[in-house]
Amino acid sequence: MIPPSSSLSSLSSQKLRDFKQSVKLKYVKLGYHYLVTHGMYLFLSPLVVPIAIQLSTFSLQDFRNLCENLKFNFISVILFSVLLVILLTLYFVTRPRPVYLVDFSCYKPEDARKCTRQTFMDRSRSIGTFTEDNLEFQRKVIEKSGLGDSTYLPEAVIRIPPNLCMAEARKEAETVMFGALNDLFEKTSVKPKDIGILIVNCSLFNPTPSLSAMIINHYKLRGNIVSYNLGGMGCSAGLISINLAKDLLRVHPSSYALVMSMENITLNWYFGKDRSMLVTNCLFRMGGAAVLLTNKRSEQCRSKYRLLHTVRTHKGADDKSFSCITQQEDATGKIGLSLSKDLMAVAGDALKTNITTLGPLVLPMSEQLLFLATLVARKLFKMKVKPYIPDFKLAFEHFCIHAGGRAVLDELEKNLQLSDWHMEPSRMTLYRFGNTSSSSLWYELAYAEAKGRIQKGDRTWQIAFGSGFKCNSAVWKALRTLNPAKEKNPWMDEIHQFPVNVPKLLAL
């Protein structure tokens, strides 16, 4: 008996719901991804069988006849061989030299430098320069910042009264730089005299002699070293240093490049009343990282990563982007770092430009086709479809997003559609060490290593934002599986305590 139309409709809708529950859309998308990615192999595989059958019919006499025919075309064979040798020589001579990351080290201050949130508020109150309203503002910011109770501040800042002077700033710089470098030289067994390239980046502290000169003097580096000191380039300066080191290593054969990334707190603590400048007091903390790079192929076997891509985006031509992070004097003449309310919008625009450049370099063809299809539909056919956001989880296994603040991390997690697992290194770095500026990316990578997450072949995306306004990316590929039991980094003694629950800002 044929059921009534209403019953048929009900039965059909019920079956459709069951189908959606049994076949999840994410598996359909994964199937599409693998089909497009391996489409060429699937297309060529049917040709392999007839070719193999044809070759199997060749007898020894057939090969002899082929050799006899080549004797009569001796000149052609010679010309073809010479051309092949020339082309291969040009390929190997002109291709870029690979850049390897031998190892890196993140500085962990001594326990005496720890500053809990309550200690921060007590010190801020004891200074006597902040109004009650400003103290309450700082309390709210630090409660929502994502920072925990174990971040670090230099001695000159947390002492009573603060002693902010050039001597103390130099002391902080030496403590951070030499602490990270001593650990790096110990881990890699590379002698300071072997370093051919030195790059130091610190945005707000630029003494004379420079920070790079301080390192050269302390370790007695060689006289012909190629050294650079980058200043005023914000939290993304660490990746700018990596990009510069990459370019230098491609023209200086058989060299080691040392990159030192840090920020200086001592001379940049703000004691005024401008709230846009008080935020930096609540976020920035003491830290630094040293990275050893090389182009020596002999070092590949012991190096951790190979640098695949660097992409730099600069929005400084736009006035709003240029002025969103500015070091300036407030109304009373006190110097501070002002953060504009447009910061999130500016960062989003810079990120969009950066990933538009990075996407074709790293995304599988399946994602590029989907992006192209929606772009054509929107621009050419004027269809009202949402812009397609590529799934970067298909291109990277690990994400190191600059731990600038909880709001930034929340927005990037949402826009890039990342999971809590992907965001864990960034959130835990912000919680444990605070915003250590350009070095935060290396604390995040160290976290992934301490957790035993890095497997051979894994790709890691480091992305950072900086004043100007800049958004920079670096992509690394793991050359070997890293055993956390053999690693030495600032997380190892306490990694079992992480992750901890840090509520998202949007949920507060």
Q: How far apart are CA 193 and CA 84, in angstroms?
A: 41
At 293, is the secondary structure helix, strand, or coil?
A: strand
Say if strands 459-466 and 470-478 run parallel, antiparallel, or are unpaired: antiparallel
Token pair for 178: 């030499």
Q: Cβ(71)–Cβ(252) under 8 Å?
A: no
Q: How far apart are CA 331 and CA 411, in angstroms?
A: 32
Kindly list the catalytic residues: 235, 314, 398, 402, 435
Q: Which of 448, 120, 97 is nearest to 284 (CA)?
A: 120
Q: Cβ(104)–Cβ(289) under 8 Å?
A: yes
Cis ω for the linkage preceding 469 (within 30 of 0): yes
| Residue 220 Ramachandran class (φ > 0 left, ψ -120 to 50 alpha, else beta) | left
The sheet that has 459-466: what strands, in order across it?
226-230, 195-201, 256-262, 288-294, 100-106, 305-314, 470-478, 459-466, 398-401
Q: How would you label 90-99 residue by residue, b for 16+ Cβ within 10 Å and e otherwise?
A: eeeeeeebbb
- CA dihedral (17, 23, 25, 29) in degrees, to 10, reads -150
At 343, is the secondary structure helix, strand, or coil?
A: helix
